[in-house]
Structure 1
Amino acid sequence: MCNPFMLRSSKEGTLELILTHLLPLIGAGLVAGFLAGLLGIGGGIVTIPVLVLVYRKVGMPEAWLMHIAIASSLTAIIATNTSSVFAHHRKQGVDWSIVKGWWFVVALGAVLGSFFAKGLKTAELVYFFATLASLVAIKMMLPFDRWKLGSELPSSKARFVAPGLIGFFSAIMGIGGGSFSVPYMTLYSVPIHKAVGTASLIGLVVSVSAGIGYLIGGWGITGLPSGMAGFIHLPSAFTVAIAAVLMAPVGAKVAHMLPRTVLSIVFGIFLVVATIKLVSGI
C-alpha cells in the first residue's frame, strides 16, 4: 500500500489527513478542549492516542510516530490553554503569583524533557506515556483530593524541584502538565478551582517551551512527511487546536458550576482504555 505522505505531493498528503480523518481529529480536539477548561489539563492525554491511531493509518514513519504525536499535541495545547486561561481569568480562577515563581523552572524542565524524548524510541515513549497515564488514571478515579501535605506551597529552595519535574515529564508525555500540577497544588491547600485555572497557565508555559524543543529537535530529520515543522505536523495540530479552542471556555464554565467527581472517574476509565489501545498497537 502506498504511503500517502512519502509518495504524494505535499498538498495531497495534507488533504489526505484532513479530509479522511477529520472527524476523529475534531472529536479529540473537542474533548481535549472541554477537559482543558474543566480540569486544567492540556488535553494531550486525550489527543495523543487519537493522533497515534490516525498517523499509523496514513503511514507516518514508525520510528518517529510517537514523537510527532507528542509534538503536534503540544502545539495544539498552546491554543487550548490560551483559551482556557482567558476563561478562568475572567472568573478570577488564575493565581498569577504561583506561575510568576514557577514559569522559568517549568520552561527549563519542558525544554530538557523534549530533548530527552528525542533520544527515546517510539515504543519506549509509548510505555513511558502509558505508565504515567495509568498513574494519572488512578489519581482521577480515587478520592485523593482530601490528602494534604501542607497549608501552603513550599517556599524554600526545594520549591523549584516539583515545577521543574512537572515541565520535564509533561514534555515527554506531550501534555500541558495539569495532570501533575493540579494534584500538587491541591496537596498544598490551593483551592481546587484556583488550581485548575492556574494549571491552564502553567500548561501554556509547558506547551510553548516543549513545542520549541520538539521543533528544534526534529528539524532536518530526513524521511518525515509533508506539512512538518520539526516534529510538529501542522495540519493535524491546527485541526485539533481549532476544535479544542471552541470547547475550552465551555469546560471552564462547567468547572465553576458542578462537582467533578463523576467526570473524573469517567476520564480515568478513558485513560485506562486509551493506554491499553496504545500499548497493544506496538
Structure 2
Amino acid sequence: MLLAALYAACLVVGFLCGATGVGGVLIPPLLVLLSGLETHTAMGTSLANMFVLAVVGTWMFQRLGLINWREAIPLVLGGGLAGWPGAWCNARLDSGPLIYILGVVIVLAGVCALRPPSSAAAENAHPFWHGRTGLFCVGAVIGFIAGLTGVGGGVLSVPWMIIVGYAPIVAVALSMPFQILATFSGSLANVASGYLDYELLPGLTLVVLFGFWWGVAAARRIPPLLLRRIIGLVCCGLGVFLLVRQLAS
C-alpha cells in the first residue's frame, strides 16, 4: 500500500519536473516517509533517479530545439565539479541545518520568480549572469547544493534563470543538461558511501520518467507568464513544505 502511494506521489513529482523543472526536492522526503529509507540513502537514491531524468530530459528538450549549448556547457561544468564535494559533505554532516537553509533559499527564489518580469533587470544582469563565468559560478553553487541535499538542482537553477531574464520554458530546458554531471558526480560519491537503494531505484525511475514526459507535453502549451507563476508557486510551496517538515521532525 505504501509502495503504491510512493509511486503515485512520484508520478506527480515527475510531472512537476517536466512542466516546471522543479519538484525533485520532494523525492527524498517521500522516500523517507513511504519507503522507510534512512535519510542519507533516500537522498542518494533520489539523486541517482534525477541523473536518469536529466539525461532523458536533455534528449527531449534538445529535440525541441530549446537548449543553447553555449549557455548550457558552463552550467554543466560547474555542476559536475561541485556535485561530488557536495555529496561528500552530505555523508559527514547533519542534514537538519542544511534543510533550513535550502527551504529559505527556495522560498526566496520562488518569491522572486513570482515578481512581474522586468526587461530592464534582465538587461542589467546580462553581462555577467548570461556569460560563461556567471553561468559556471551558478552551476557550481547549485551543483554543490544538489549533491549536499539529494535534489536535482532545478529547484534553484530554474527560478534563478527566470529572474535574470530567461523564458520559463528555456530555463526548464537548460536545467536538464546542467543536472547531468552534478547528479552523476554526486551519485558516484553516494555509491562509494553505500547510500543507494538498488531495489527501489528502477521502479521509482520509470514512474518519474512517465510523469516527466507528461509534464513536458503540458509545459509546451502553457503561456510563458502563467508558467513563470506556476514555477514560483511550486518553489514557494516546496520551500515551506521543507521548513515545516523539518520543524516538525
Q: TM-score, normalised by structure 1?
A: 0.75
Cα-to-partner distance string for 1:199-223 (whole Å, 9 max, x where unaligned): 111122221121112222x2xxxxx
Over 3 Å counting, the alpha-carbon distance change for 1:257 and 1:173 in structure 2 is same
Cα-to-partner distance string for 1:44-88 (whole Å, 9 max, x where unaligned): 212122112125xx4x5xxxx322121111111122222322222
Where 2:200 maps in the other structure, the secondary structure is helix
Cα-to-partner distance string for 1:248-272 (whole Å, 9 max, x where unaligned): 1221122111132553355245315
Where 2:50 maps in the other structure, the secondary structure is helix
Whole-Å separation in 2 of the counterparts to 1:133 and 1:159: 19
Identity of aligned residues (%): 21
Where 2:152 maps in the other structure, the secondary structure is coil
Pick one of 164, 176, 186 that aligns with 1:210.
186
Aligned match of 1:233: 197
2:21 pairs with 1:40 = yes
2:97 pairs with 1:116 = no
RMSD of equivalent CA atoms: 2.6
2:227 pairs with 1:267 = no
Pick one of 92, 106, 111 that aligns with 2:79.
106
Over 3 Å counting, the alpha-carbon distance change for 1:238 and 1:127 in structure 2 is farther
Cα-to-partner distance string for 1:79-126 (whole Å, 9 max, x where unaligned): 222232222222111122222233222111111111111121243444
2:217 pairs with 1:253 = yes
Aligned match of 1:17: none
Name whichever of 114-123 and 70-79 sits farther off: 114-123
Offset of residue 145 of structure 1: 4.3
Over 3 Å counting, the alpha-carbon distance change for 1:131 and 1:173 in structure 2 is farther
2:172 pairs with 1:196 = yes
Offset of residue 162 of structure 1: 1.8
Aligned match of 2:125: 150
Whole-Å separation in 2 of the counterparts to 1:93 and 1:214: 31
Aligned match of 1:227: none
Whole-Å separation in 2 of the counterparts to 1:136 and 1:247: 24
Whole-Å separation in 2 of the counterparts to 1:197 and 1:183: 12
Whole-Å separation in 2 of the counterparts to 1:212 and 1:145: 38
Aligned match of 2:143: 167
Over 3 Å counting, the alpha-carbon distance change for 1:145 and 1:208 in structure 2 is farther
Over 3 Å counting, the alpha-carbon distance change for 1:90 and 1:110 in structure 2 is same
Query: How do 1:44-83 residues align onto structure 2 when only pairs under 5 Å count?
Result: 44-55=24-35, 58=36, 60=37, 65-83=38-56
Query: Mind listing any 5+ residue stretches in structure 1 that lack a counterpart?
Result: 1-19, 219-229
CA contact (8 A) 2:71 2:130 kept: no
Larger Rg: 1
Whole-Å separation in 2 of the counterparts to 1:132 and 1:237: 28
Name whichever of 119-128 and 28-37 sits farther off: 119-128
Structure 2 counterpart of 1:25, one-letter code: L
Q: Which has the higher helix share?
A: 2
2:243 pairs with 1:279 = no
Offset of residue 26 of structure 1: 0.8
Structure 2 counterpart of 1:274, one-letter code: F
Offset of residue 144 of structure 1: 5.7
CA contact (8 A) 1:128 1:173 kept: no
Structure 1 counterpart of 2:126, one-letter code: S
Q: How many residues align?
A: 242
CA contact (8 A) 2:75 2:138 kept: no
Whole-Å separation in 1 of the counterparts to 2:199 and 2:106: 26
CA contact (8 A) 1:133 1:275 kept: no
